[in-house]
């Protein structure tokens, strides 16, 4: 696929962090709460002072994205995996 269209950007921005978070949490399932956590983490990477009509998602070169998404997914997976610390 092409990465120059917003609907393809999930392959670059979201999935690496989602997979890292799932692996860290040792989760065998993905649920809506985990994906909503990933979306929230992705949105939080763009600060209010950066947000504008042409910049609504972080750059694919932003090195904070994968870690932020992974952490959010890991936390959201705790109720599913039964863990309290990962």
> Cα dist. 68→10, 13, 65 in Å?
14, 11, 5
Is 86 inside any structural domain? no
Structural domains counted in the chain: 1
Is 64 inside any structural domain? yes
pLDDT value of residue 8:
66
What residues in the chain have per-residue pLDDT under 70? 1-8, 84-86
Q: Which residue bears the tokens 């696929």? A: 1
Is 72 inside any structural domain? yes
pLDDT value of residue 83:
76
pLDDT value of residue 11:
84
Domain span at residue 30?
Answer: 6-81
pLDDT value of residue 10:
77
């Amino acid at each position: 696929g092409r990465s120059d269209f917003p609907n393809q950007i999930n392959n670059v921005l979201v999935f690496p962090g989602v997979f890292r978070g799932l692996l860290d949490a040792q989760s065998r399932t993905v649920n809506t709460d985990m994906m909503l956590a990933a979306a929230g983490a992705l949105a939080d990477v763009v600060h209010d002072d950066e947000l504008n009509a042409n910049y609504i998602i972080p750059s694919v070169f932003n090195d904070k994205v994968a870690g932020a998404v992974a952490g959010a997914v890991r936390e959201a997976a705790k109720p599913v995996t039964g863990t309290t610390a990962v």
